[in-house]
Amino acid sequence: MVERYKMINIAMQAANNNLALKLSSSKQSAKRFTKIESRDVNVYYGNKHALKHVNLSVYKNEVTALIGPSGCGKSTFLRCLNRMNDVIDICKVTGKITLDDYDIYNSSLDVVQLRARVGMVFQKPNPFPKSIYDNIAYGPRIHGIAYGKAELDEIVQNCLDRAGLWKEVSDRLEQPGTNLSGGQQQRLCIARAIAVNPEVILMDEPCSALDPIATARIEELIEELRENFTIIIVTHSMQQAARVSQRTAFFHLGELLEVGDTKTIFTNPINSCTQGYITGRFG
């Protein structure tokens, strides 16, 4: 069955993308501005072809959700966008990914600068084993964002405030970030990511280790952050994708099967495989 879906899907994929683009452009063409564009991206882990011919545009100030069953390449794709895959020796990336029309795999590009522009929040909260203050202040410090202690204090307060954490931790900034609860830690990580003023924030299943209340808090936060950042979020929760994202991309077996406005994907998916996944019939 899946094989048959695949055959059809490959044939339809280009049309889908075009359609999705047309749909979106017909609705809000004036507002949308392409922030990240990937063209024919392939990723290989040694001999394994992990990501196949992915063409995806990510629009500015929108939340793009990447969904799909485990091992389909969502996280791999996400990690291509800030070149975190460079760390893995056997990983090879081909194709072209542009950020504001600049090829991020260009050999003259400084990866450190790219990562300062494209922040990331991980599945498992990973605060540094330092104080809450130092967790936030680390990025601004290494990038010379703050001039003086007063400015740094302001940045820390501002970021914690935006991450909805200020009220909870303002009286214990000197305590280790690792002492916070899971949800607070994840918000701390988000605050840490926005302290560098990135343009794009990548989130790799940021709520998978959290309870529903912490999840709701983070989803609210994502909605607020959308105003200033472009967000790409990998999630296993259909509901979450439907709630927080404006656009959704469905990955399956390393391929991007369907991409479009979240509403369209969830109400009227073109690809039957997508339909099967979002309605819970497989995956």
Enumerate binding residues for other proteins (CB under 8 A): 82, 84, 87, 89, 112-116, 119-120, 122, 124, 126-130, 138-139, 142-143, 176, 178-179, 189, 192-193, 196
Instruction: In angstroms, give the least distance from the CB of 176 to other proteins.
Output: 6
For the beta sheet containing 200-204, the strands, ordered from the edge strand earlier in sequence to the opposite edge, are 102-103, 91-99, 34-45, 48-59, 255-261, 247-252, 63-67, 230-234, 200-204, 118-121
Query: Could you tell me the CA-to-CA distances from 177 to 55, 61, 90, 242 in Å, in that order?
Result: 38, 29, 33, 31
- Report the distance separating Cα 19 and Cα 14, nearest Å: 8
Query: 51 or 193, CB closer to other proteins?
Result: 193
The residue among 78 and 222 lying less far from other proteins, judged by its C-beta, is: 78
Give the residue with the Cβ less far from other proteins, 74 or 192. Answer: 192
CB of 156 to other proteins, least distance (A): 14
CB of 194 to other proteins, least distance (A): 11
Between 119 and 269, CB nearer to other proteins: 119
| Residues 86/110, Cβ–Cβ less than 8 Å | no
Helices (H), 143-252: 149-162, 166-169, 182-194, 212-225, 238-244
Report the nearest approach of other proteins to the CB of residue 257 (Å).
28
In this structure, the strands spanning 247-252 and 255-261 are antiparallel
Closest CB 126 distance from other proteins, rounded Å: 4
Q: Is the dihedral of CA 129, 132, 133, 138 positive or negative?
A: positive
User: Which of 160, 193 has the CB closer to other proteins?
Assistant: 193
- Indicate the SS3 state at residue 102: strand
